[in-house]
Amino acid sequence: MTKSYILALDQGTTSSRAIVFDRHGAARGVGQREFRQYYPQPGWVEHDANEIWQSQLDVAREALRNAGASAADIAAIGITNQRETTLIWDRATGRPLARALVWQDRRTAPMCDALRQQGHDKLLQERTGLVLDAYFSGTKLAWMLEHVPGARQAAQRGQLAFGTVDTWLVWNLTGGQVHSTDPSNASRTLLYDIHAHDWSDEILALLDIPRSVLPAVAPSSAEVGHALPEWFGGPISIAGVAGDQQAATFGQACFKPGMAKNTYGTGCFMLMNVGDRPIASQNNLLSTIGWGLPAPGAGTAGQPTYMLEGGVFMAGAAVQWLRDGLGIIQRSDQVEALAASVADTDDVFLVPAFAGLGAPDWDPYARGTLVGLTRGTTRAHVARATLEAIALQSAELLTCMNADSGIELSELRVDGGAARNDLLMQMQTNLLGVPVVRPRVAESTARGAAGLAGLATGFWSGLDEFAAQWEAEHRFEPQWSADQRQARLARWRQAVEHAKGWARPT
């Protein structure tokens, strides 16, 4: 192996990033760019698909320049992406038929209600491991086929391609030669049978989605195509693909059952490795595929590793709201000092249900709620309540995971932008009652994509070599008693009840 680097493309909800990693797992070049968010109606969230592609291409070139690297130095490209966001485009021209529907978009909540009333929710959960919710791609795709002019007819003629963001990037990188996804992303569509490892014809018929629009499903760590020479000055193998939360779990080296990580980004997502068999949650968590690795007899999608997952829809986005919506901070990194200027929240709670609630409530009609305000409440109390809300929601998820898996977690590995906030991490360990461990390389999501690509191309010899590069940077230890934890979580639950159902149609 003469090539020196892996290029990781990290396409997120609010920005596109790219990182060049060396053989030791160190970042050698970075590029990042925010892109526009569209909110055409309350509860609707959209992205411009072409802007996603162009911004990702631009930052990839920037990362290469910053690393002093050319295409000839890159062993492979790994891709990780915001999950569930739904795109459709013309196969012949590559032109999107509409803006992408972002995972936060709630417009299909009534469709989910109707499916639930018809008794289909149990079938969907049994096949896909997912709770019936507007969060996932399946009902978004069904909505687009029904409401985007010409989409249904183009799909029936076999002219339409559907994809999540990973599929869109692979399509563009390869000049339309490859239409594929991986098991981690496929398992987030509400269309993929995680037991049969294939798209479910039964669900496709239920949602009136033709199979012809769907991508092929390849292993998460496998060469699927090559980026055209025109993009980077030479061809580069595309050899790793995983949804952002699964990629972060891989990047945190959570390779053994019972290991778990929490990513603090726009949303907050906790995943626990449960091994080679899925666990059906009894606590409204998701059973999902972490990644599929090539293995003898494993099938075209690879051998799956399963996860339990709980999602908090608003984490870093709640801090952005403090900045952009309320204007009480000018930069997101100012929230820690402001929150630390008071000893506690003075019994103020923020339930940041701006796009509904995820696990364990799954209420698309919940809305953001600020309770406990008095004349003595200051912006510092609101800032501290915002950070605590992120930790409280995550603590509830871990309680559910312990119950479902029968495994008592010994530590939680953390990553994402907000994981650099020491106050938040101390809040988290206090509410969990287990240590919280922050790694030296905080870019776990991009690192996971790089790892998957590197393993497929021999850049790293195997999981053991890749895992050995993981190092802890800081370990936070809990300071609260069990009684303190339980009292705070009970008070939080009271606040959540005030937020639930607020936007339900009357």
The reported pLDDT for the residue numbered 3 is 85
Instruction: Detail the residues annotated as belonging to a binding site.
Output: 13-15, 17, 83-84, 135, 244-245, 266, 316, 320, 417, 421
Q: What is the DSSP letter of 102?
A: P
Closest to 295 in 3D by CA, of 239, 221, 215? 221
Query: Which parts of the chain have pLDDT scores under 70?
Result: 1
pLDDT of 172-191, one tens digit each? 999 999 999 999 999 999 99
Instruction: State the Cα–Cα distance between residues 356 and 43, nearest whole angstrom.
Output: 9
Q: Could you write out the DSSP letters of every residue in 215-241?
A: PEE--SEEEEEEE-HHHHSS-EEEEEE
Q: What is the DSSP letter of 38?
A: B
- Which stretch of DSSP H or E encloses residue 473? strand 472-476
Q: Which two tokens stand for residue 175?
A: 């000049």
Per the rule left: phi > 0, alpha: psi between -120 and 50, beta: everything else, 302 is left
Instruction: Detail the residues annotated as belonging to a binding site for sn-glycerol 3-phosphate.
Output: 13, 83-84, 135, 244
Instruction: State the Cα–Cα distance between residues 153 and 144, nearest whole angstrom.
Output: 12
The reported pLDDT for the residue numbered 81 is 96
Instruction: Detail the residues annotated as belonging to a binding site for glycerol.
Output: 83-84, 135, 244-245
Per the rule left: phi > 0, alpha: psi between -120 and 50, beta: everything else, 423 is alpha
The reported pLDDT for the residue numbered 142 is 97
Q: Taking the C-alpha atoms of 205, 207, 212 and 218 in order, what is their torsion angle to the nearest 10 degrees?
A: -100
The reported pLDDT for the residue numbered 1 is 52
pLDDT of 398-418, one tens digit each? 888 888 888 878 889 998 888
Q: Taking the C-alpha atoms of 62, 63, 65 and 68 in order, what is their torsion angle to the nearest 10 degrees?
A: 180
Instruction: Detail the residues annotated as belonging to a binding site for ADP.
Output: 13, 17, 266, 316, 417, 421
Burial 120-132 (b: 16+ CB within 10 A, else e): bbeebbebbbbbb
Please name the residues in contact with 419: beta carbons below 8 A apart, sequence gap of 6 or more: 263, 264, 425, 438, 442
List the beta bridge partners of residue 241. Answer: 79
